[in-house]
Amino acid sequence: MPQATTAIFMTSKPACNNNLSYHERGWPTFEYRVSMLAKPGSSALRWPSLIDVGKIGRGGDGVSATGMRLAPLVPSRMERELQHKIFTNMADTTMVAALYQDTFEAVIGGAVSLSYHGACWDDEQMASFCELLPSCNMLQVLALGGNQITDRGSAPYQPRSISGTEGASARISARSLLSVFM
């Protein structure tokens, strides 16, 4: 089960390395963004699901490397992001975009429950997340509490954003809607 594994990102490179950075390359970008789709959030009560080795020593405590869980990207946005990345074989760009779309549809389209509780999201992350709500065909529970989302960031979350979209049958419970504001 992919949710029970830990994704480790090697985002830093040695000073003597003149190669492209982690976030400039195509395949690492794909792996990073797919991890944002399926991984549960981290908390003090469980092992972190995302570890960014490049952050070791930068978290204030000298050892923290827990990676921030960003809002997943809709496939069209991911495809645009991949256009600015470098692949060893540039033909991979189209294949990776299609692979991301397939993964997105399986994970987000088939999810009955999504939890982004405590992901440290702000209004920008929430706006990005709202773009994927029409794809949540099976969603019944959405946990968004414990984030720094203001009224501005939660405005696109109104049920009309998903109910008017053809093909979307997402049902957001009143309890999860309230968690946005808590």
Residue 123 shares a structural domain with residue 96: no
- How many CB atoms are located within 10 Å of the residue 1 CB? 5
* Main-chain dihedrals φ then ψ at residue 10, nearest 5 degrees: -100, 70
Domain of residue 102, residue span: 1-107
Report the pLDDT value the prediction gives residue 95, as an integer from 0 to 100: 94
Residue 162 shares a structural domain with residue 133: yes
Residue 93 shares a structural domain with residue 26: yes
Report the pLDDT value the prediction gives residue 116, as an integer from 0 to 100: 84
Among 125, 134, 77, smallest CA distance to 101 is for: 77
Report the pLDDT value the prediction gives residue 75, as an integer from 0 to 100: 96
Residue at token pair 């070791």:
56
Report the pLDDT value the prediction gives residue 41, as an integer from 0 to 100: 56
Q: Give the 3-state secondary structure of 28-95.
A: HHHHHHHHHHHCCCCCCCCCCCEEEHHHCCCCCCCCCCECCCCCCCCHHHHHHHHCCCECCCCCHHHH
Helix axes 75-82, 92-107, angle to 10 degrees: 160
pLDDT < 70 stretches in the chain? 1-4, 9, 13-18, 38-51, 53, 55-67, 154-182
Residue 40 shares a structural domain with residue 11: yes
Residue 129 shares a structural domain with residue 49: no
Q: Which pTM was predicted?
A: 0.74
- Given 52, 76, 107, the domain boundary residue is 107
Residue 96 shares a structural domain with residue 122: no
Mean pLDDT (the chain, rounded): 74
Count the domains in the chain: 2
